[in-house]
Structure 1
Amino acid sequence: MPLKRSVNSLPLFDETLKEKSQIKIYEVTNDRRGIDEFINLPFVIYKRDKHFCPRLIRDQKRQFTPENPFYSHSKVRLYIAKQGNETIGRIASIINYNHLKYHNDKTGFFGFFESYEDHRISRELFKKVEEDLSNEGLDKMIGPMNFSTNAECGLLVDGFTEPPMIMMPYNLSYYESLLISSGLKKAKDLFAFLYILQDTLPEKVYRVSEIAKRRGARVRLINKKNLSSDMKAFQYVYNKAWSNNWCFVPIIDEELSESIKELKMIIKEDIVAIAFMGDEPVGFLGVISDFNQILKILMGRLNPLNIIRALINIKRINQGRLLLFGIIPEFRNKGIEALLFCEVHKGLLKHKIKKIEFSWILEDNLPTIKIAELFGGVLYKKYRIFQKELK
């Protein structure tokens, strides 16, 4: 039986292939052809999808090399599924030793999953990852993680009418059924709220921010000239604020340096702020312009024409993602959240940002959900992390 087509995708392979053609799984090593096949598959699957906006191909290739600091503490194996000469699926098995050390469990991960709409493909891919993780003595598989909760994670299960914002995943609607058919179940949902920016914030926010000031809190915007030290403050806050969160893994120095390289070109100083009590950084809030509006134009490739088009359109970016947000636990509910929002709100108006996505938020993180709702944010997307017990 030939593999099924999705209404959103192209034919899977040459229709002349015989029914008996088997699905085979191949590991991708450092050979250029294998990496190219792994990276190029989504460009085929999503060719007719208007929301597809891939990262630059050169950046995708780099993330699968030892230049990516994640590889310094993890084992990553990449696989592609083929039928005949056609690549029809892909997946990564991920063993994050920092996670194992921090949580003292036996959990492994999968990520970078892509497949045509056929359950046989996904079953073979997951079977391979399960073998990898089981052979390492692990007893649970969680994902998708690309590569961890410090990067892109989750499978979109609700909210397919809007394109993804920067550093958020995207997939076709049938992917959920592929995971379920492979024996995976829900582990946790991640929420994304959409906020239409207003000229003023709710009165309560201004009132509470004044209380924070009287308690000695202060806020300042970041400075690109001192971005490394400012991001160290973020690392300090993040690793304390998120330490008890589900599946949390601390950001290490090398990963922070990599993030600085990626964000330096797109971060705006007046929409990223740090909160202090005395000299201690205790909170961080940063909105990142939705560069996906440019990546959609580039479609993975930098060439002279694309660069010109990007330069013309970069000033037209009119939305952003609240990507960086955290308050050290002992300083929560003291108005610091409000103080940060008041400062960043001025910059958002200056840059004529119309929409902000609050993402992602764990489904059981009720305090942060309440903050999103206070601002008038509407839950408009859900992402799901899946899990499976390994035999």
Structure 2
Amino acid sequence: MGDVTIQPIGTPRERREFVDLAYRINANDPNWVAPLHMEAMELMTPGKNPFFEHADVQLYLARQDGRTVGRISAHIDHLAVAMDPVQGMGPGTGNWGLLEAESEGIAHALIAQAETWLREKGMTRVLAPMSMSVWEEPGQLTLGHDHPPTVMMGHQPKRYADYIEALGAYQPAKVLRTYELDITRPFPPLIQRIVQSGEKNPRIRIRNVDKSKFDAEAALILDILNDAWSDNWGFVPFTDTEIAYAGKKFKPIVHNDLIMIAEYDGEPVAFMMTLPDLNEAIKPMGGKLFPFNFIKLLLWLRKPRVRTMRVPLMGVRKKLQSSRLASQLAFMMIEYIRRNSVARYGATRGEIGWVLDDNQGMNAIADAIDSKVNKEYTIYEKHL
């Protein structure tokens, strides 16, 4: 076998080669869900993914004997660098991600190249993997390889975690968890009483979003999110461009009765976003929309029937956090969406997350509704 060479990509053809490699390496993994090719390309393309507007990004390909055998991204998110170090990012922190490699040696060579690029850019610490923003697919899957990921969650071979940990210098910084639960069963009696008590409180109103006012509702949710999450580990604020971009991507899978806003004394103070698991629809497509898969997808989007509903985001304004009211509002939104998911979409399973391993409030809520950890994603750190 010849030496491995690692080169930065610079052409559209190489960008496509970078994207295509993931499909080849993961082709035999029954639990990997091939993303739609056009969306995978968009993620990596400046001018299409607004992440590039506030980040420096370098993509690398590894080649051996004329074959492409690995890839990695190295990147610096300047919004993350500007955050308080107490929140996990901060000055001097760069990232790598999107790792794919045929062997441990190739993976180590790619990681070393990413670290060199980060050092040359003045970074003194790396958090990885991040593919690419913390809002996209952060972390390396370290628990739950035996079932497919839900929409917007990553899936990597177990061996990649082994490769990272074999380097020795990388230590876990955070663990992100997802929880699963059987949503066909009512919640425990205590939770039902909390919900019923909230229903009798005239100061509380739980409402569906109004998709006909999509932009206004999206702005409201993001306002609550930015307030609720602003002190969280890893938080990076959305830019206006990213808000518009996320709205465009989410809109086809947004349904009025799956996203709730909680009002207290007429003020919106909490939200819960639930999405039908798009991965169930696209998994058989192998990343291809044409010639006929786009018709199947359009029909599915019109009235999805799914096994799983995923809760990617929920939040309560900071002034109410750690209060009994915050938990009550959360349980009420979860219960209403549970009912709608089962009755109107045929769902039987819910997934909540990701949730930080030290987020006591959310972990307590997950425990209270009898959910169990089904996946863990580890974010590692190393001082450069």
Distance 1:217 1:328 in 2: 15
Distance 1:226 1:311 in 2: 22
> Is residue 313 of structure 2 the alignment partner of residue 324 of structure 1?
yes
Pick from 192, 207, 214: which aligns with 2:178? 192
Shift of 1:113: 1.0
8 Å Cα contact 1:150/1:251 also seen in 2 = no
2:213 alignment counterpart: 226
TM value normalised by structure 2: 0.91
Comparing 60-69 and 40-49, the one that deviates more: 60-69
Kindly provide the amino acid, as one letter, of the partner of residue 287 in structure 2.
G
Distance 1:249 1:370 in 2: 24
The C-alpha deviation readout for 1:151-197, integer Å capped at 9, x for no partner, is 21111111111111110000111111111233322111111111111
1:206 alignment counterpart: 192
8 Å Cα contact 1:322/1:358 also seen in 2 = yes
2:24 alignment counterpart: 44
Pick from 311, 334, 338: which aligns with 2:331? 338
Shift of 1:53: 1.1
| Structure 1: segments with no counterpart, 5+ residues | 1-18
Secondary structure in 1 matching 2:61: strand
> Is residue 72 of structure 2 the alignment partner of residue 91 of structure 1?
yes
2:347 alignment counterpart: 353
Comparing 339-348 and 84-93, the one that deviates more: 339-348
Kindly provide the amino acid, as one letter, of the partner of residue 197 in structure 1.
I
1:247 alignment counterpart: 234
Distance 1:144 1:271 in 2: 31
Kindly provide the amino acid, as one letter, of the partner of residue 231 in structure 1.
A
Distance 1:215 1:152 in 2: 40
Secondary structure in 1 matching 2:73: strand
Distance 2:119 2:267 in 1: 44
The C-alpha deviation readout for 1:15-63, integer Å capped at 9, x for no partner, is xxxx3x111111112x121011100111111111111212211111122
> Is residue 53 of structure 2 the alignment partner of residue 72 of structure 1?
yes
> Is residue 382 of structure 2 the alignment partner of residue 385 of structure 1?
no
Kindly provide the amino acid, as one letter, of the partner of residue 343 in structure 1.
Y
| Structure 2: segments with no counterpart, 5+ residues | 85-89
2:165 alignment counterpart: 180
Secondary structure in 2 matching 1:110: strand
Shift of 1:308: 4.3
Secondary structure in 2 matching 1:25: strand
Shift of 1:388: 0.9
Kindly provide the amino acid, as one letter, of the partner of residue 9 in structure 2.
V
Kindly provide the amino acid, as one letter, of the partner of residue 194 in structure 1.
E
> For residues 380 and 203 of structure 1, do their structure 2 counterparts lie closer, same or farther at Cα, with a shift above 3 Å needed?
same
1:16 alignment counterpart: none
> Is residue 111 of structure 2 the alignment partner of residue 130 of structure 1?
no
Kindly provide the amino acid, as one letter, of the partner of residue 55 in structure 1.
P
8 Å Cα contact 1:190/1:382 also seen in 2 = yes
8 Å Cα contact 2:313/2:353 also seen in 1 = no
2:249 alignment counterpart: 262
8 Å Cα contact 2:272/2:315 also seen in 1 = yes
Pick from 270, 273, 276: which aligns with 2:263? 276
> Is residue 127 of structure 2 the alignment partner of residue 142 of structure 1?
yes
The C-alpha deviation readout for 1:112-168, integer Å capped at 9, x for no partner, is 11111x222112111111111111211110011122221211111111111111100
Aligned residues: 369
- The RMSD of aligned alpha carbons is 1.7
Distance 2:319 2:299 in 1: 45
8 Å Cα contact 1:297/1:306 also seen in 2 = no
Q: Return structure 1 stretches of 4+ with deviation > 4 angstroms.
A: 210-213, 311-314
* Percent of paired sites with the same residue: 26
Distance 1:241 1:215 in 2: 24
8 Å Cα contact 1:119/1:181 also seen in 2 = no
Comparing 50-59 and 333-342, the one that deviates more: 333-342
The C-alpha deviation readout for 1:327-379, integer Å capped at 9, x for no partner, is 11222331221222233223212222110111111111121111111111011
1:14 alignment counterpart: none
Kindly provide the amino acid, as one letter, of the partner of residue 43 in structure 2.
Q
Distance 2:258 2:197 in 1: 22
2:356 alignment counterpart: 362
Distance 1:312 1:72 in 2: 34
Secondary structure in 1 matching 2:158: coil
Distance 1:173 1:88 in 2: 18
8 Å Cα contact 1:89/1:114 also seen in 2 = yes
1:166 alignment counterpart: 151
